[in-house]
Amino acid sequence: MKDPFVILRAELVEAAERAALPAPRKRWGWLRRRSRPVAVLLVALVIAGAGGAVVLSLNRSQPLAGSVPGTITPASLAGYGYTIAVVPQLAAGTTGWGSLIVYSRPDTSDVSQPGGGPPVYPTATRPVFGGGTGPDSCPVCYARGNPVTYVLTGPQVFAVRIGTRTIRTVTSRALPTGVRAAVVFIPAKGRVFLVPGGRVPVDKLPPRFKNVLLVPVEPLDRFGHVIPPQPTGAPAFGPPPVAWMAPDAVTRWWPLASLNIGVPYHQDGYPGRTHPGPGVCELAQHGLPALRAEFGHTVAAIPLQPDAVSEVFVSCIDAEYYLNGWPLQAGVLLDSHRPGQVLGPIPGARPIPGHPEIVNLPLGQVPWNYDGSISADSPQFSLTAKRVGNAWLVVQGGYGLAQRVQVLNALRISKLDLHHLASGHARH
Amino acid sequence: MRGERADAELLTSGVASDFGCFYDRHVRAVTAFVGSWIGEPDVLFDLVAETFARALEHREQYDSSKGPTVAWLLGIARNLMIDSARRGQVESESRERLGMGRVELDDEQLELIADRADVQLRDALASLEAFQREAVIRRVVLEESYRAIAADLRCSEQVVRKRVSRGLARLREGLEGR
């Protein structure tokens, strides 16, 4: 008889050997080597500009949604469909766009891979403002590499230089107005982290960056000139949101942790608010007694972002509801240039058949805990929204679309005060 | 322990044999931990296998600031047990993604697994100092945050971390000696 724990050990070591196989480098050398004549010329443009004629050898961006190339193996995401989504943020007082890649395959749970960095928006001095996927991404994706990566830019960026390739940025209905993107494929199981600004950190990197290839990204204008990096502060914020937590609040849903930093679970002597504080926006519910709000934030003023060069949304309230054990986040989105004006569409969201006033953006599932895995019981990250006046009322999470629609129909915006605006201050 | 390579290094080095050493170090603790709740040896073995497969797959996500590796491992095992109870079957996603085969077990092997699991984790826990036992149970089993435990015990997070770390190390040594 062979000891089953010894058999298991051998299986694990073999699996670890397979997982440690180096990625093929020859084909993807363009990510590593310094500039040299571009091997693959898809488009050659001669543009006569103010600075003289410049020849740009452009590679085409990969699409924002498609299929991951490569040999299909159990330990990679090759063969999965992928969709890059740029999403508004529901945390009250938060301005800007988050982004993620949703990997999907029939008969399996979708996997969402969050983009790196905080939600931001493009400005004149911050032309590359988001994208990429780094070592802090979700456990499932990281174990299998990040086969697709991308950068998000402002409208002034015509192309980006990544490694030795120059890739033209594209616009899309899946992107906010004024936002452009460039998408590239990464070798199977590769771990590539795009670093906006053209400078790779030279300091000793933390352990989680081990075996990660850091690749600088340089933004180019329409004449092929590098848009030089300019010192810029952190995105501007308005007054800090005021948190509240219901006395019986209990949650283990990890996305909330990022919103509630510094707010512990209720314990004896909890000094915080147990009900929503006064704010510019308020939510009310009706007709769904099982729906229970447990956490949330309000803001005393709506932060404005006059320096944004793209459309940018701001949330004026957020709350986490629970319905039959499922967490759902709700928020109200306004325009951060002029909060009273009609908002553009939620990028990539589509109307729901039978509910013409409601749109849905599928974003896959997230684990209950960051260290956990995604299973059939995991809540969704997808969001569903409907227009209420000049705002979007948004519900995210839950077990599925039907539940989000149910909650959306049970919520209403009971207060929307557009008179308290904050031009924001840089938070460093 | 002096002279030994750190658990975290074995886990994240990317060297296959290191992961084997990591497995050797913790398989008893994980088996005893799962065996405290699960009676059926085949289910128990599946859970142990999936726990290590998940640890291998997610090894880059291990964050030493959140606690020792064994706490992380037992946390994975705990979540797996909960998920499996909900779904009525043990998950095998990580093993499938890693291309691992399912180990077919005969009666003798099932008996061996049952023997191996027949380690009284409660006895081992009982051998710990009371303050270590409480810290280990609250952090690993109840998954309370270091901050919450520290606030409740009126001590610093650092003290709680030490208690958990040392308690788990003693637990492991105790289980290895059985």
Which of A187, A220, A253 is a domain's end point?
A: A220
> What is chain A's pLDDT, residue by residue, as a tens digit (428 residues)?
688 999 999 889 888 887 765 433 445 555 554 433 332 222 222 322 333 333 445 688 899 998 888 766 666 677 788 888 899 988 888 888 888 888 777 666 566 655 545 567 888 888 888 876 544 444 445 555 567 888 999 999 999 988 778 899 999 989 999 999 999 887 655 567 777 665 665 555 555 555 667 778 889 998 888 888 776 555 555 667 888 878 766 654 434 333 333 334 455 555 678 888 889 999 999 999 999 998 888 999 888 888 888 999 999 999 989 888 788 899 999 998 888 788 889 999 999 988 888 999 988 766 555 445 555 666 678 899 999 988 999 999 888 899 999 999 999 999 998 888 877 543 32
Taking the model in full, what pTM does it have? 0.59
Q: What is the mean pLDDT of residues B131-150?
A: 77
Please give the residue range of the domain that contains residue A384: 236-426
| A364 CA to centre of own chain | 12
Nearest to B61 by CA among B90, B33, B94: B94
Q: What is the pLDDT of residue A45?
A: 29
φ, ψ for residue B59, nearest 5 deg: -60, -30
pLDDT: which is higher, B152 or A253: B152
**Same domain assignment for residues A99 and A65:** yes
Contact B83/A3, CB-based, under 8 Å?
Answer: no
Question: Amino acid identity of A342?
Answer: V
For chain A, positions 361-390, list CB contacts with chain B under 8 A. Answer: 369-373, 375-377
Nearest to B57 by CA among B2, B26, B95: B95
Nearest to B135 by CA among B160, B157, B159, B154: B160
Nearest CA in chain A to B96: A74
Domain presence at residue A283:
yes
Which of A196, A220, A244 is a domain's end point?
A: A220
Which of A220, A252, A274 is a domain's end point?
A: A220
Nearest CA in chain B to A250: B144
- Retrieve residue B166's tokens: 């040392």
Domain presence at residue A6:
no
Domain presence at residue A4:
no
φ, ψ for residue A198, nearest 5 deg: 80, 0
**Same domain assignment for residues A244 and A212:** no
**Same domain assignment for residues A77 and A210:** yes
Phi-psi region of B173 (alpha: psi -120 to 50; beta: other; left: phi over 0): alpha
Domain presence at residue A215:
yes
Nearest CA in chain B to A77: B97
Mutation target among B52, B61, B119 for the A interface, most CBs of A within 10 A: B61
Domains in chain B: ranges and CATH = 1-119 (1.10.1740), 120-178 (1.10.10.10)
Residues of B whose CB is below 8 A from A74: 96-99
Q: How confident is the model at residue B37 (pLDDT cuts 50, 70, 90)?
A: confident
Handedness of CA B75, B112, B8, A78 (dihedral sign): negative
Kindly tell me the number of DSSP H helices and DSSP E strands found in chain B.
Answer: 10, 0
State the ipTM, two decimals.
Answer: 0.81
**Same domain assignment for residues A32 and A166:** yes
A4 touches chain B (CB under 8 A): yes
Count of structural domains within chain A: 2
Task: Give the orientation angle of helix B157-176 with respect to helix B69-87, to 10 degrees.
Answer: 80
Q: What is the mean pLDDT of residues B49-59?
A: 91
- CA distances A28 to A24, A25, A147, A188, B99, Å, are 7, 5, 12, 10, 25
DSSP letter for each residue of A7-27: HHHHHHHHHHHHHTPPPP-ST
B52 touches chain A (CB under 8 A): yes
A380, containing H or E segment: none
